[in-house]
Structure 1
Amino acid sequence: MESWISTVITWGIPAVILIVGVVIYNRLVALRNRFKNAFSQIDVQLQRRHDLIPNLVETAKKYMAHERETLENVTSARNQAVAAQKTAAADPTNGPMVDMLSKAEGMLTGALGRLFAVSEAYPDLKADGTMRDLMESLETTENKVAFSRQAYNDAVMNYQTYKESFPNNLLAGVTGFKDAALFELENPEAREAPKVQF
């Protein structure tokens, strides 16, 4: 009887700890892959957004010759957002890179908001069918970005909660699971899709 108890203690407890460790590790991997997949959905929508902006600026240039600085600000903000997007997409587990992307997208949204506000003074621009279509596509894309951002943030929250819970946090720290960053927009106007009124 004593040898049986000794065998259970010697082999059973380590086996249970190993099985629990494997289960925790596999769950961490699954949750990390979910938030990485959710980030890739944001990436797709941001790419579409970034692809629409040069066409929008080119169309606006025809009518807004005196608003060169506004158009240059949009182009510059778009270029910064594209660079930040590429960096963050390379490793969505890198929190500081996701934060940089959030800031760059906030700046781009602010620049687009100023463009839309200035465009109100140009009735010919407002009447242009191409501009109207581009702005409508952009607004639809903004809504998709917001939805994808919410799904990503939910996936990050699930991952972080599981990773930080005990005893999961012990295994996560030893096996190198990094913290994930939420995709948040800092300025309040960036939280809303640009208003398009024609």
Structure 2
Amino acid sequence: MLEVWIAVGAVLLIVIAVVVYVVATNRSLKRLSARVDGAWSDITTQLAAREELLPQLEARVRGLATHEDKVFAAFEEARAASSRAATPEEVSAAENLVQGSLRGVFAAAEAYPQLQSSREFLQLQSDLVDVENRIQASRRFYNGGVREYNTKVKVFPNNLVAGPLHFEQRTFFEVADRAAISQPPRVQF
């Protein structure tokens, strides 16, 4: 009789330990997922801040560089792609277009000394560099959170809990051309 109680107690302890582990892992994964969601929100906030600056930049440069139609067409296309993008994959693809088109706009601006000496244009450049730096910092923070979350989802025995509870790996905010974003667009003349 005593052996039966010991066996029941041992099984009960094992069941309790498994339940505690599942609950603790579930909470940990939810916490990491919330951190990744918050980091993504930071990225979208910084992208929105940049989106507010881009029309001002376009207006300043377009006012003088009237013959740069291809540059401005690419710039408008990149801005449209950026505003449509919602997922990390879409934003990553749009980011490549935006960075390339910004370089084209600033290259066109270099030909106009009036822009280079304009206080408003210089302030706009400074604001844009600041936003680009914040985008990169937010991207690093987001990718760090995704890395931590994905590791927790993939590692045994967490993967035994993550799979049935539908915790799937998250996507990094990567860009195809890392060299293009290794530094914010050069906007100082």
TM-score, with normalisation over the residues of structure 1?
A: 0.90
Give the alignment of 1:34-45 within 5 angstroms.
34-45=35-46
Between the aligned partners of 1:57 and 1:127, the Cα distance in structure 2 is: 17
Task: Give the secondary structure class of the aligned counterpart of 1:175.
Answer: coil
Shift of 1:190: 2.5
- Partner AA of 1:156 in structure 2: V
The equivalent residue for 1:106 is 96
* Residue matched to 2:71: 70
1:146 aligns with 2:147: no
Q: Which amino acid aligns with 1:14?
A: V
Distance in 2 between residues matched to 1:69 and 1:131, nearest whole Å:
21
Q: Give the alignment partner of residue 193 of structure 1, picking from 159, 184, 187.
A: 184
Query: Which stretch shifts more, 126-135 or 18-27?
Result: 126-135
- Give RMSD over aligned pairs: 1.1
1:7 aligns with 2:4: no
Are 1:110 and 1:190, in contact at CA under 8 Å, matched by a contact in 2? no
Equivalent position of 2:150 in the other structure: 160
- Verify the 8 A CA contact 1:156 1:181 in the aligned structure 2: yes
**Gapped runs of 5+ residues in structure 2?**
none
SS of the residue corresponding to residue 186 of structure 1 reads: coil
Aligned to 1:182: 172
Structure 1 distance, partners of 2:180, 2:49, is: 21
1:134 is paired with a residue whose SS is helix
| Alpha carbons 1:78, 1:108 under 8 Å: kept | yes
TM-score w.r.t. length of structure 2: 0.95
1:116 and 2:106 correspond:
yes
Aligned ranges 1:22-61 → 2 under 5 Å: 22-61=23-62
Aligned residues: 187
Are the aligned partners of 2:49 and 2:131 in contact in 1 as well (CA < 8 Å)?
yes
